[in-house]
């Protein structure tokens, strides 16, 4: 059963290139809240600070907050891309991520090969993978580009393929960054139908977005981040009204 439990998680990014001591000092003095030096005397960005929350089956959660608040970092942490430096994170259920279209794709393999590889990774047979490739291909509308290495794709083609792949294998926990909701009009119309179905089938949705209409339409709960901390968590209307 799908469930997410975060107990005091923190995520930090070391800034390795900040070698010069005077530059370090100046930076730390300018932003004392978000930058600090760690035990190894490196400057680190405290991207997420001591977050605790639980997301249960059936919840559709919007992550809201200003640029740099920590929304994408939290999504990536839930997806397992980043490891918390403190606290404990439990994510139960098969996770589908629509965060970075290039993630999990082999740039030298064709679109079709990538689909089959992902299907095999998810435990499908080669025959099921090949059938899935047909379905994904039809949806992504990549035409003859399906048999061309994905490193030659445009940004929009990447999004189409990633979107079609992630949504073809209905996840229990769907993690999504808002820019997957931007695309050309024709694709977005198809994508919206498919997403609506997926969102009602997936057990948990966590969506990072600035689009308040999307939050109101799709989500039941909002978590507001600011400076890497949670400053609001509750029903959408309540959290949005508090801004
Ligand atoms: N790879 C990285 N290295 C260093 N700092 C990072 C890295 N990724 C994110 N950060 C920092 O972590 C903080 C949170 O960034 P994040 O991208 O999660 O914010 P966001 O809420 O998604 O912002 P936006 O709305 O602009 O997408 C910011 O201060 C950012 O500079």
Tens-digit pLDDT profile for residues 174-218: 999 887 776 677 777 888 788 788 777 778 999 999 989 889 988
CB 4 within 8 A of CB 91: yes
How large is the average pLDDT for residues 219-229? 95
Q: Give the C-alpha separation, 178 to 9, whole Å.
A: 23
Report, as an integer, the average pLDDT of 126-134: 87
Buried/exposed 185-214: b ≥16 CB within 10 Å, e otherwise: eebeebbeeebeebbeebbbbbbbbeeeee
| Cβ–Cβ under 8 Å, residues 12 and 45 | yes
Can you give the pTM of this predicted structure? 0.83
Protein residue with least CA distance to atom 29, ligand 1 = 68
Q: How far is the CA of 70 from the centre of ligand 1 (A)?
A: 6
Strands 229-235 and 95-98: unpaired
Dist. CA 150 → ligand 1 center (Å):
27
Domain 3-241 has CATH 3.40.50.300: yes
The answer to whether residue 29 scores a pLDDT higher than 70 is: no
- For the CA of 70, the nearest atom of ligand 1: 18
pLDDT tens by residue, 75-90:
999 999 999 999 999 9
Single out the residue of 242, 201, 240 nearest to residue 63, CA to CA: 240
Neighbours of 95 (CB within 10 A): 19
Q: How many CA atoms lie within 13 A of 158 on its CB side?
A: 17
Residue in 35, 63, 69 to alter for ligand 1 test, most ligand atoms within 8 A of Cβ: 69
pLDDT tops 80 at residue 40: no
Enumerate the domain spans of the chain.
Answer: 3-241
pLDDT at 33: 60
Q: What is the ipTM score, two decimals?
A: 0.95
Q: For residue range 73-126, list pLDDT tens digits in order.
A: 999 999 999 999 999 999 999 888 888 877 778 999 999 999 998 888 878 888
Closest residue by Cα to atom 4, ligand 1, is 13
Q: CA-CA distance, 155 to 135, in Å (whole number)?
A: 21
CB of 68 closer than 6 angstroms to any ligand 1 atom: yes
């Amino acid at each position: 059963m799908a469930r997410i439990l975060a107990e005091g998680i923190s995520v930090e990014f070391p800034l390795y290139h900040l070698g010069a001591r005077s530059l370090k000092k100046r930076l730390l003095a300018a932003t004392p809240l978000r930058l600090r030096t760690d035990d190894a005397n490196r400057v680190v960005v405290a991207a997420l600070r001591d977050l605790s929350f639980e997301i249960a089956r059936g919840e559709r959660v919007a992550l809201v907050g200003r640029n740099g608040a920590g929304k994408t970092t939290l999504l990536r942490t839930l997806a397992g891309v980043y490891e918390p430096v403190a606290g404990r994170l439990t994510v139960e259920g098969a996770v589908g991520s629509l965060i970075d279209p290039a993630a999990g794709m082999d740039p030298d393999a064709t679109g079709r090969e990538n689909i089959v590889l992902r299907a095999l990774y998810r435990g499908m047979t080669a025959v099921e993978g090949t059938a899935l490739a047909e379905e994904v291909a039809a949806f992504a509308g990549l035409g003859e580009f399906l048999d061309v290495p994905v490193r030659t794709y445009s940004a929009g083609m990447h999004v189409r393929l990633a979107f079609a792949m992630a949504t073809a294998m209905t996840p229990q926990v769907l993690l999504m960054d808002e820019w997957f909701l931007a695309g050309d009009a024709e694709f977005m119309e198809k994508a919206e139908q498919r997403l609506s179905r997926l969102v009602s089938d997936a057990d948990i949705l966590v969506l990072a977005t600035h689009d308040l209409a999307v939050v109101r339409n799709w989500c039941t709960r909002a978590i507001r981040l600011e400076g890497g901390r949670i400053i609001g968590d509750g029903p959408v209307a309540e959290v949005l009204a508090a801004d």
